[in-house]
Structure formats: structure tokens, C-alpha cells
Chain A
Amino acid sequence: MSDNKKFLYVNRRAPYGTVYALESLEVVLIGAAFDQEVSLLFVDDGVFQIKKDQDTKNADMKNFSATYRALGDYDVTKLYVSKESLEARGLTQDDLFPLTYEDEDDDWAEKSSIIMVSADEIKDLMEDQDVILSF
């Protein structure tokens, strides 16, 4: 197995209207199975993917938002969210799912996976990656 690489998945599209959000999530889960260091960035309309209260019962579409909650179990514990993208869309962190993971190095304490970032922090985050996949 080659060295452990840093993978960043950049999510910029809203869920349901197109298939990008679901496809991205499926690639993340596949990638996580290969033991790399995976993190996700939600920017622009990507922030809508983790908007809470999604209810597809009248829409004939699969509600895949619960899968984001499972990411912690796949060792994907860093979900970066653009503050500015939320504000531009009339949203705050309270509008998002409270996504968490259990830290095995800290007695399995439940911690937030969501990390709010500014545009400048996103620049540094991207420069720090080995591989970037953008959806």
C-alpha cells in the first residue's frame, strides 16, 4: 500500500436537482475504504447538502442526507464548511445537521465533525492537499 495521502472532496452543488451531491458522497465512501486521509469541503451551493430537515416523502426521491451522519463511522471526521457560503444563502451553522464522530483517542467522546472556515482558510486547506476531487 502506498503512503497515506490527503484527499479533499470539494462539494459545490445543491442536492437533488442534479446527481453531483449523491455521486460525490458515494465516491467519498469508496475512498474512505482505502485508508487515506479524507476530508470534505462544502462551499457555494454545496452547503445545502448538509441542511437539516430534508424530507423527501412527497418527492419520489431517495433522502440520502442520513449518509452524511454515517461519515464519522468511516473515519471521515473533518467536514469543512464555508462561513461565507452559508451567509450568502441566509443560513447559519444551526441550519446544518449536527454531524459528529467518536474520537477513539479520547475515550470515544462525541465531537463535532463540522469545521467552519473562511475563504482564506480554504485557500490554505486546498494547498495542503495531495489530491483534490471537485464535484
Chain B
Amino acid sequence: MLHIINKSPFEKTSFQSCVKHAAAGSTFLLIEDGVYAGIANTEISEHLAKAKEIGKVVALTSDVESRGLQEKLDGDIEQVDYAGFVSLAAECDRVQSWL
């Protein structure tokens, strides 16, 4: 399943709840303010670590760049553009948005 998170983990617990409820092999896509969940060494790092154990964590490049986070993300996070976003949604059998 592709899980899409669009809110900051410091403002809402959607990211944390998503990670808690995601089955092994899930892919996590961070978009909009959700990209803040990808920053290295924050107070929610344990949740990011758990997501990485479960599956791939991916971030939308234009949202990362808009927020000035290019140098601040965890090294294991892959980035995609909009075309990549579409490919991910097509590859995964289901998509769930955590607003």
C-alpha cells in the first residue's frame, strides 16, 4: 500500500499514526508539509526510523525544495517529482491518504 502523508508531524500525529498502522512492505510518500517528517535528528526520529524498517520512505522534491529542506533530510529518503509520484501510485495496489 502507498501511504501519503501531507501534514507536519510536529503539528498533527497523522504521520505517527500512519507508521503505527502500516504493514510490512508499505511505501510512505511525504508531500506538502508532510516532508517535514523526513528531517534528520528531530524529536520524531523514532517514528521515521520505524517507517524505514517497514518500507520505502519517499518525498516529493518540489515540496522539499520549497521548504528549504534539501540538505536537511534523512539520507535514506528517496525523492520523486510529480511523474514519480504518479508511477508510485500506479505501482502500488492501493493508496491511502493520511490528512
Residue numbers of A with Cβ under 8 A of B are: 13-18, 44-45, 48, 51-59, 61, 63, 65, 88-91, 95
Contact = CB atoms under 8 A, between A and B. Distances in A.
Given A17-B33, A53-B70, A44 B10 contact: yes
Interface residues of B, number: 26
Which has the most chain B C-beta neighbours within 10 Å: A54, A59, A91? A59
Nearest to B72: A90
B42 interface: yes
Interface in B20-69: 32-33, 36, 39-43, 45, 61-63, 65-69
Interface of B: 6-8, 10-11, 32-33, 36, 39-43, 45, 61-63, 65-72, 81
Nearest to A96: B68
A85 to B, nearest CB: 8
B36 A14 contact: yes
Contacts, number: 76
A56 B67 CA distance: 8
Given A16-B32, A17-B8, A44-B11, A54 B67 contact: yes
A88 B42 contact: yes
A63 B77 CA distance: 24
A55 B65 CA distance: 5
A59 B33 contact: no
B34 to A, nearest CB: 8
A113 B97 CA distance: 40
B68 A52 contact: yes
A91 B11 contact: no
Contacts of B43: 88-89
A14 B71 contact: no
Given A14-B67, A17-B6, A53-B71, 20 more contacts: A14-B8, A14-B11, A14-B33, A16-B32, A17-B8, A44-B10, A48-B8, A48-B36, A48-B67, A54-B65, A55-B66, A57-B65, A58-B61, A58-B66, A58-B81, A88-B10, A88-B42, A88-B43, A89-B36, A90-B40
